[in-house]
Chains A and B, each alone.
Chain A
Amino acid sequence: DAGVTQSPTHLIKTRGQHVTLRCSPISGHKSVSWYQQVLGQGPQFIFQYYEKEERGRGNFPDRFSARQFPNYSSELNVNALLLGDSALYLCASSWGQGNQPQHFGDGTRLSIL
């Protein structure tokens, strides 16, 4: 079975641009979460979606937004990119919205010039 897949794997943008990152969860998983991992640090929670509704939001500015589609895939959008947005963006899926283990994709490496 396919794991969590993310696209693209790498992306280079300039300040002020916007970006869309995509995630397909493991088949049967209904919850998708997004995390930002800055080099040398642990991942920081951005959003959780379950059954197409936002169920949790981390301490990130409104430039960050996300949505979940009927097939449970998800997009993360970031507007007005800043240098500090350079990071590995990780998507994780789980069957439900509770404390089930989350399964991570390999991430999208976003570099801002």
Chain B
Amino acid sequence: GNSVTQMEGPVTLSEEAFLTINCTYTATGYPSLFWYVQYPGEGLQLLLKATKADDKGSNKGFEATYRKETTSFHLEKGSVQVSDSAVYFCALSLAGGTSYGKLTFGQGTILTVHP
């Protein structure tokens, strides 16, 4: 079946540090890949996406590149801020079949950034 695996958390960083959150996936077919962010007490917000191999998604200083050869979609940011503290979810969706449009999520990674 389809699945997403994220790096174990929580991740604790100082402000302006470099961030990497690893994400790998297993899918039958060619998925679209997403990163969502969830702030306390809120729903999920789409952070960035990539729809095919070698695509790079970017938003608000965050980046992730769709690597088909390593089935990965790692999230990076060069300099984190306290306001980036949240839970980050990697997800995939597939076109076609019974999985059409369904998002499959990883378990989430808690990020805490200290001043």
Contact = CB atoms under 8 A, between A and B. Distances in A.
- Interface residues on chain A, size class: 20 to 34
Contact of A97 (B42, B89, B100, B106): B100
Contact of B102 (A40, A56, A107): A56
B-side binding surface: helix, strand, loop or mixed? strand
A71 B101 CA distance: 20
Given A42-B107, A42-B108, A90-B43, A101 B102 contact: no
Interface string A14-47: 0000000000000000010101000011111100
A99 B51 CA distance: 9
Given A33-B103, A45-B104, A99-B32, A105 B43 contact: yes
B38 to A, nearest CB: 9
Nearest to A41: B107
Interface in A78-113: 90, 92, 94, 97-107
Contact of A99 (B93, B98, B104): B93
Interface centre among B43, B100, B105, B107 (most CB of A within 10 A): B43
- Interface residues on chain B, size class: 20 to 34
Interface centre among A31, A40, A90, A99 (most CB of B within 10 A): A99
17 contacts: A40-B108, A41-B108, A42-B4, A42-B89, A42-B91, A43-B89, A44-B105, A45-B104, A48-B101, A56-B100, A90-B43, A97-B100, A98-B100, A99-B51, A101-B34, A104-B36, A107-B43
